[in-house]
Every structure is written in structure tokens, then in C-alpha cells.
Structure 1
Amino acid sequence: MSRSWSPRSRRRYAAPRPRSLWRKVLDYGLTIIILGLLILLAARLDRVETRQTQGAAIINDGDSITLGTERIRMRGIDAPEYTQTCRRNGVDYACGTLARQSLVRLIAGRPVTCSGWQRDRYGRLLGDCKAGGTDLNRAQVEAGWAVAFGDFESEEATARAAKVGIWAGTFDQPQDWRDSHHGEVVERKHGTLASIGDAVREIFRFW
């Protein structure tokens, strides 16, 4: 019995063409650019790395302390300035002094730990601070001796409803008081959302 065979086509394999000089230069150039961008990105990430400092606190006012050589501005809150006055029962009183005294009581001589990565226009670290198990930023707002400044809005609402601290009378927002008495540039709020936005901008701000 005879079999018929059909011819099978042979596939031809062409050897890969060597890359041209310009293609090699382009590939090397892209590699260098990518490496450079990765190095720059790593440097930016280092700038948003959280820094932590701790020690015995010097209480400057209701929302700022000094730990060693590091000046700390407590993030997400704004307390009356040390010389600021508020009004209660028709009488002016030194609410800035009382705000500082509140922070002194909260710290109670314990070591303080603050962490953060942002800095305000004065070079102070914007920190989340604790003394023992007490969240100092949150506690100052809960006690009514600081207002929410980008964070802790629910704590402020509770303090306002309970009429504790400065909420027992009337007062100028600390930022407005600073503007009217010292002509300072309005400070941008520095709560959680602002921190996220700053981190993204810092990472992608290559130049």
C-alpha cells in the first residue's frame, strides 16, 4: 500500500540584527535616567521619613514645647497664644496662660515623646506628642484649651458642647488673634489630610 507524502515547508530563522550604535546609546541613556530618578525618589522619601524625639519637656505655651534642642509645634491643634486673652462672664482672662497650664498638667513631669516629619515656617517639627499613655494633642482639644487645626474635629465638637476651657466664654481664634496682634502670615492647617498631601508633593517635587 503506497503512502503519499506532502512536502513540509521549512521555516527560516533569521539571525537577530545587531543593535545600531544609536539604539545602544538610547538604551544606556534611558537606563541612566531611570537610575537617577530612583536615586532622587529615594532622597525624597528620606525627607518624609518620620523623626522621633523624646525627653523632658519645656512647655512654651498651649501647643508648643521644646525637647532638648528640638522645638515642637503640636500637629493638628491650635492653642491660644501665651499672651492672648479671652472673655468669660463679661470679664477678660488670660486664656493663653491657662492653656499652657493645662499642657503642664497633662504632661505632669513625665518624659514626652514626639514624632513627625513636617516643619512649620519657623522650623519647628510638627509633632504628635505623648506623655506616658496620654495623647497630648488630642487631650488639649478635649480639655477645651486648643481648637482643632486640621485634625481632632470631633474632640473639639465635644468640648464645645460641654463648654469647657475657652468654650465657656468667647474668644478669637488663635490664628486670627496672631494676625491682628502681630500681623503674621496666616498659617496653613496641618492635619492628617494636609500631611498626606504634603508627602505626595514632597515625593514628586523633583526640582
Structure 2
Amino acid sequence: MLRICSLFILLMLPLVALADPSGVVRVIDGDTWDVGGARVRLFGIDTPEPDQTCERGGEFWRCGAWASREVRARYQGKIASCRAVTKDHYQRIVARCSVEGRDVGRDLVVDGVALAYRRYSMDYDLDEKRAAVRGIGLHGADMQRPSDFRAAQRQVNVQPAPGDCRIKGNISSKGERIYHVPGQEHYNRTKISPAKGERWFCSEAEARAAGWRRAKR
């Protein structure tokens, strides 16, 4: 009987791991949310990285920060219902999410806040093409696709501190974004790897606004 119960539990584990998240939205960045306490990566879309810049009108534009602000303004604090697809290597649940009955991914791509992530899905391909024709949102700027930006960042394994920006934004093995300030217990041994999406911050306010929390020690 014990052996049968153990087998049943093992068979159920994948289902538990891929339970469909639902609940209040806390926006981490343009395509990563906490939904009812679960870390979710929105399926089929890609937004610029928080530290990514684009060129618009001959000037640099912080398009990654803009996309995060747009998504936060639309969905922060609302109730999302998500359908899990898989898990990524950061152990985030990759899911299709809807808010107020509307497909979040489609709305963001239609409005030029996100791009279709064609490597994983063609669901929003035509939506992106229509947004590009209209030249709205991200399509009004010269932008490196987020996946290409991340690939370029992987060429650098560890990034030194830029100037006086000494706060280390680290991503844990669980995908949690934690920043360390000089003097904290783990500051000196924390390395910053842009390939993993890690970064430096110039202030705690900047780190919190980007979705990082302060290390407990």
C-alpha cells in the first residue's frame, strides 16, 4: 500500500509543479510577474530587459524601463488567471495569462509594449507585424530584439561595477531578484553576470523600482 501511495505522489508531482497560477499581480518586469505568489514568465512574448536601451529620434531611450512601467501601470494589483505551459531554467512557470478576460500577451504585443517571442510561439506574430506597421510603442525606435540583447550580454561573464554604482543586483537559483549593498554579509562574494540578467544599481530606490528586493543579511 505504501509503495502504491508513493507512486501516486510521484505521478502527481509534475501536475502540482505546473498548477495554473491565479491571483493578484505584482509586476517584476515587462514579461515576468508574481501571480498569487507564483513567479510567472508570460508565454509567447518578450520585452526589453530592464537595463536595455533603444534609439529614438537620435537619442538613447530606456525602452526596457519604459516597458516595465507600462506593464506595471496596466496590471499591478489586478487579478490574473493563468494557464501553465511549462517551466523555464529559472524555475518560473511559463504561462498564458488573462486579466479581465483579455489575453495579456496579445494586448501587450498589439500595443507595441512587447514583441512576439517566435522562438517559442507564433501566436502573436501577426499582432507584432501590425504594430510594426503602425510604428507604435517599441516599434517607434531602433531596438535590438531582447533575445539578441541577452545573447550579446552573454559574451561578458562578469561585469565590474560601473563608476559609483556599487549595489549588486543578483538573481538566485530560484529566480528571485535580490540586491546587496556594500557591508552586507554576502556582498563581497556576490558576482554580477549580465548573461543571467544580473546588474548593478546606483541606488536602492533604483533597485526596488526595477523589481529587486534587499538581501536580508
Into which bin does the TM-score normalised by the smaller protein fall? 0.5 to 0.7
Are residues 1:82 and 2:54 paired? no
Q: TM-score, normalised by structure 1?
A: 0.63
CA apart distance, 1:56: 1.5
Could you tell me which of 45, 59, 64 is aligned with 2:32? 64
SS of residue in 2 equivalent to 1:87:
strand
For the 8 Å contact 1:80–1:145, the answer to whether it is kept is no
Counterparts of 1:37-76 in structure 2 under 5 Å?
Answer: 43=11, 47=15, 51-76=19-44
Q: Which residue of 2 aligns with 1:140?
A: 108
Aligned length: 146
Bigger radius of gyration among the two: 1
Counterparts of 1:1-207 in structure 2 under 5 Å?
Answer: 43=11, 47=15, 51-107=19-75, 109-149=77-117, 150-151=121-122, 152-183=124-155, 184=195
Instruction: Point out the structure with the larger strand share.
Output: 2
CA apart distance, 1:131: 1.3
Instruction: Point out the structure with the larger helix share.
Output: 1
- Runs (4+) of structure 1 exceeding 3 A deviation are 42-50, 182-185
Change (3 A) 1:77 1:98: same
C-alpha distance in structure 1 between counterparts of 2:41 and 2:114, whole Å: 13
| RMSD across aligned positions (CA) | 2.5
SS of residue in 2 equivalent to 1:129:
strand
For the 8 Å contact 2:18–2:93, the answer to whether it is kept is no
Change (3 A) 1:70 1:48: closer
CA apart distance, 1:182: 4.0
Percent identity for Structure 1 against Structure 2:
28
CA apart distance, 1:43: 3.8
C-alpha distance in structure 2 between counterparts of 1:46 and 1:64, whole Å: 22
Q: TM-score, normalised by structure 2?
A: 0.60
C-alpha distance in structure 1 between counterparts of 2:12 and 2:125, whole Å: 31
Q: Which residue of 2 aligns with 1:11?
A: none
Change (3 A) 1:44 1:106: same
SS of residue in 1 equivalent to 2:21:
strand
Q: Which residue of 2 aligns with 1:24?
A: none
SS of residue in 2 equivalent to 1:141:
helix
SS of residue in 1 equivalent to 2:97:
strand
Q: Which runs of 5+ in 2 are unaligned?
A: 1-6, 156-194, 197-217
C-alpha distance in structure 2 between counterparts of 1:50 and 1:168, whole Å: 37
Where relative contact order (Cα < 8 A, 6+ residues apart) is larger, the structure is 1
CA apart distance, 1:105: 3.0
C-alpha distance in structure 1 between counterparts of 2:46 and 2:12, whole Å: 28
SS of residue in 2 equivalent to 1:118:
strand
Superposed CA offset, 1:130-157 (max 9, x none): 1112211111111112111123001001
CA apart distance, 1:126: 0.6
Q: Which runs of 5+ in 1 are unaligned?
A: 1-38, 186-207
CA apart distance, 1:72: 0.4
